[in-house]
Structure 1
Amino acid sequence: MADMARLRCPWRVGALSIGFSVAIIFFVLVEMHMFVTQQKYANRASFAVESEEGCQRELRKLGDKILTQQTTLFELKKFDGFWFVICNIVVMSGVDEKARLEEDNRVLGTELEDFQNKEQLAKISGSSKLGPVAAVVIMACNRPDYLERTLKSVTKYHKDVAEKFPLFVSQDGSNQDVMDTARSFSSVNFLQHLDENPPKTRNPGEIIAYYKIASHYKWALTQLFNKRDFRRVVILGDDMEISPDFFSYFEATAPLLDTDKTLLAISSWNDNGQEKFVSDPEQLYRSDFFPGLGWMLTKSTWEELAPKWPNAYWDDWLRLKENRKGRQVIRPEVCRTYNFGEQGSSLGQFYEQYLKSIKLNNVNVDWRSKDLNYLKKGQFNPIFNSLVSKAAIIPASQALTEANYGEGDIRVQYYSLVEFKYLAHEFGIFEDTKDGIPRTAYNGVIVFRWKGQKRVFLTDFFQQLDTIETL
């Protein structure tokens, strides 16, 4: 019996040893498989780190997860108890852990690929988190030569800001030369407005072009704001050249338009921007008069205006008090656009007298370094009021003499729009008014330069400066 016991004991030990050996081999194979799998994703993570600095924080998280899995796996080497029990634990736990780790690594690998794909997409699109500053649309119809001149001017400065200011040409009608011109510029997105129901004039003898223009504007702005969901749009005519700092000017003033609800738009134009009336390229003002000719508005303002958009004369309509609702426009002293459209729907109105001599800014102002908070209504009014109040009050009969030979800023009061037009004619500025508002006026004050640095303020006697709200 003792012999039989001795024979059975070695057999049991041998069997136990074989089972343990198998378990160990199986464990080693599992470990090697996991090492290869982990190495595969570790290589991918390494590639992502080298190729994109922005991925590093995410990849560190993934690396921490993999390291945790490795630690868990190696913890399985710590075992106690009977050999038979250990073999079962190793085998069963190894199988379960293998399946779990493979699934986790599959998920982590998918996350890594998705992250890399998103980073690559961001590279391709070049879009910032906030998206473009504004779409820029050039409104065109049937003047291919004018459009080409405008596009050459715009694209000269557009290349470096293409992602911030997507460029569009919106054509009204089917003039083939206009279409070919627009499409010859690679940076241009082309829109075409084909009116199935051409507008009709309300009164005999009216110029139908004004009706077509209003219809085209409504269609184009609807396309950009509602169909393409831009936050802001800058509108240009097909007869305009721009300044070197045109785009940075609009980028710098965009936040004002978003946050100051007393603003209707941002304009690049000064109606009294003739060379003899301007000097400071960094000076900006608020104005009750909507100038147009290169301007930016927001989607929220468009959603207010679109339902009641007029059939014609959209710019004069926008100048009505009922549509402005007490809001102003930011405008520069020196224009950021130049209008060369001598031939057009307005038949050259004002061109020779006022538009031809407009000064286009040629200084590349670094608007990013400028604090423009002074243009907010609560801060602008005290500053502006102080400038006007410090100017010497001069009788209208002596205005020109004092402007030519006196020193310092002058202030000339007018008592009616008739008297304003007389003074405007004497100095040579725009005499035109819309809904009782002179061009460039702010609370009845029209400001322009005279002989370089001197300011001339034409002020409405019945609009006292201390009545201008400062809140």
Structure 2
Amino acid sequence: MKRQDQECRQLRALVQDLESKGIKKLIGDVQMPVAAVVVMACSRADYLERTIKSILKYQTSVASKYPLFISQDGSNPDVRKLALSYDQLTYMQHLDFEPVHTERPGELVAYYKIARHYKWALDQLFHKHNFSRVIILEDDMEIAADFFDYFEAGATLLDRDKSIMAISSWNDNGQRQFVQDPDALYRSDFFPGLGWMLSKSTWSELSPKWPKAYWDDWLRLKENHRGRQFIHPEVCRTYNFGEHGSSLGQFFKQYLEPIKLNDVQVDWKSMDLSYLLEDNYVKHFGDLVKKAKPIHGADAVLKAFNIDGDVRIQYRDQLDFEAIARQFGIFEEWKDGVPRAAYKGIVVFRFQTSRRVFLVAPDSLRQLGVEDT
């Protein structure tokens, strides 16, 4: 009995000693990560360095919530050396010696290699490291100050609403002339990519059927997103500075360079985002569209400019949409019947001021339960 008492006293003394050294506090602070963050890299060490510095500026204070990985495709020595020079991240290397057989003449091999690399890296993070969520960045991106808080709020939405396939930090129509509100978020039927988070359960579904190339356009096919949608902010939380890459700078000057990177610290923790849940959003978005003034005619841009409040313009078909989009300067592109950034056929953007312009498909109002006036 005496021996037991003695052991108890020794144990109590040890616990008190540990508490005094702050171990109790340390254990209390240990938490499950919100998401792993992976930067997909290949051969651009200068770009990668700029990206890592941007991430570490905001990730260091939340490192336990967002463990950082660099995944390199291939063996470029400068990229490898750079990644290994940082203690704050984990380096992964994808070495793939299998020859690439393109399916059509003139295709770039790079798109095939990128798709293989993505599959390998996400399999590693979800299946080997067992993360529940992963945020994917590329080696030519800078992030906003509230990037991590935004994704923490997004993780809650992703868990609550299975009709959300991914959370993105990117708005295709996020050029500075088309955005105003750093708090505003939207649902979209079009996968934005460029800084996005998905869950393990979604990856388990996608991994076995992952495509040989063009993985982002593949995700935009209805047969793959299967009616699920994507959350994106009005004002981007990532900025893509990579003029030289696999897409050969084709969009850079017109669409990427003028993107507005958010510079406002939004308090996402206190924000009620329940309006984005599937059952609430149809009414929320429908009310915005309903209040917008309908305008018609070839001079719709001029009319939109002269009206103070929100406006809506109906387009007849894809060709008509492209003509209207061209006049405003937003993305004209569609994939599998869906315009970029569209929700139920509607593309929304700000025009010069805080006024919103809604480009509305013939069937959109019916889908939203809004009566055409």
SS in 1 for 2:344: coil
Matched residue count? 370
Aligned residue in 2 for 1:450: 351
Aligned partner (choices 108, 122, 127) of residue 207 of structure 1? 108
Residues 177 and 185 (structure 1 numbering): CA distance in 2 closer, same or farther, change over 3 Å?
same
- The reply on whether 1:44 has 2:11 as its aligned counterpart is yes
SS in 2 for 1:251: helix
Aligned residue in 1 for 2:30: 127
Structure 2 portions without partners, runs of 5+: none
> Using the alignment, how far apart are the partners of 1:162 and 1:125 within structure 2?
16
Aligned residue in 1 for 2:367: 467
Aligned residue in 1 for 2:189: 288
Query: Does the 8 Å contact 2:19/2:25 carry over to 1?
Result: no
- State the Cα RMSD in Å: 2.0
Q: CA deviation at 1:364?
A: 1.4
Q: CA deviation at 1:52?
A: 3.1
Q: Cα deviation per residue 1:351-403 (whole Å; 9 max; x = unaligned)? A: 00110000000111111111111100101110100100110000042321122
Structure 1 portions without partners, runs of 5+: 1-33, 54-115
Q: Cα deviation per residue 1:418-467 (whole Å; 9 max; x = unaligned)? A: 00000100000001111111110000100000122100000002x13242
- The reply on whether 1:181 has 2:148 as its aligned counterpart is no
Query: Does the 8 Å contact 2:344/2:367 carry over to 1?
Result: no
Percent identity over paired residues: 57
Q: CA deviation at 1:217?
A: 0.3
Aligned residue in 2 for 1:191: 92
Aligned residue in 1 for 2:142: 241
Aligned residue in 2 for 1:305: 206
Residues 417 and 153 (structure 1 numbering): CA distance in 2 closer, same or farther, change over 3 Å?
same
- The reply on whether 1:279 has 2:246 as its aligned counterpart is no
Residues 469 and 147 (structure 1 numbering): CA distance in 2 closer, same or farther, change over 3 Å?
farther
Q: TM-score, normalised by structure 1?
A: 0.76
Letter in 2 for 1:303: S
Aligned partner (choices 219, 222, 229) of residue 318 of structure 1? 219
> Using the alignment, how far apart are the partners of 2:230 and 2:144 within structure 1?
19
Q: TM-score, normalised by structure 2?
A: 0.95
Aligned residue runs from structure 1 range 70-149, under 5 A: 123=26, 127-128=30-31, 131-149=32-50
- The reply on whether 1:357 has 2:258 as its aligned counterpart is yes
Tell me which structure has the larger Cα radius of gyration. 1
> Using the alignment, how far apart are the partners of 1:192 and 1:293 within structure 2?
21
Residues 209 and 274 (structure 1 numbering): CA distance in 2 closer, same or farther, change over 3 Å?
same
Letter in 2 for 1:132: P
Q: Cα deviation per residue 1:95-131 (whole Å; 9 max; x = unaligned)? A: xxxxxxxxxxxxxxxxxxxxx9xx9599379531xx1
SS in 2 for 1:272: coil
Residues 467 and 231 (structure 1 numbering): CA distance in 2 closer, same or farther, change over 3 Å?
same
Task: Write 1 or 2 for the structure with the bigger share of helix.
Answer: 1
Aligned residue in 1 for 2:129: 228
- The reply on whether 1:270 has 2:199 as its aligned counterpart is no
Q: CA deviation at 1:348?
A: 0.4
Query: Does the 8 Å contact 1:198/1:212 carry over to 2?
Result: no
Q: CA deviation at 1:40?
A: 4.6
Deviates more, 1:394-403 or 1:333-342: 394-403
Query: Does the 8 Å contact 1:396/1:423 carry over to 2?
Result: no
Query: Does the 8 Å contact 1:393/1:412 carry over to 2?
Result: yes
